């Protein structure tokens, strides 16, 4: 135990970084584990996919039938989704973090069934599900 205390005293920045990263991981697990996060396997049966990545990333490959509404300026583009207000809407980004913010905005705008693609497009690819470059 004395060695641990000595190590912590000698490497204070490293110990602080450990606590910050651990806290961020815990927050991600707590905040990201809600009922409105779905894995890629479940997303295939729902419709109305929204991709909030930048257009350059979207053009490199996106989930079939998804539309691109980049996260910067997302609030101003929500009106494009009005016809889907009462149907399931799956929001994706690269890793699932920015799409969580977009999901919050959609819920504030009155969308009833909004889901975040857990793990984003990276998880989609990791599940060996297809991407397309067609618009």
Which residue in the block uniquely carries the two structure tokens 């990201």? 32
12 three-state secondary structure: helix
Q: Which two tokens stand for residue 88?
A: 């399931």
Residue 93 is among the residues annotated as catalytic for this protein:
yes
CA nearest to 96, candidates 46, 48, 36: 36
d(CA 49, CA 46): 8
Active-site entry in 50, 71, 78, 93: 93
Segment (H or E) for 11: none
End-to-end CA distance of the chain: 60
Catalytic center residues: 93
């Amino acid at each position: 135990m004395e060695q641990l205390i000595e190590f912590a005293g000698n490497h204070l920045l490293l110990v602080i970084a450990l606590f910050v990263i651990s806290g961020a991981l815990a927050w991600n697990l707590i905040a990201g584990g809600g009922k409105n996060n779905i894995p890629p396997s479940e997303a295939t049966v729902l419709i109305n996919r929204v991709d909030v990545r930048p257009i350059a990333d979207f053009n490199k490959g996106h989930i079939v039938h998804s539309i691109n509404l980049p996260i910067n300026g997302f609030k101003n583009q929500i009106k494009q989704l009005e016809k889907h207000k009462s149907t399931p809407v799956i929001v994706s980004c690269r890793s699932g973090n920015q799409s969580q913010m977009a999901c919050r905005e959609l819920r504030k705008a009155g969308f009833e069934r909004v889901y975040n693609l857990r793990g984003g497009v990276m998880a989609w690819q990791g599940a060996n599900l297809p991407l397309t470059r067609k618009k």
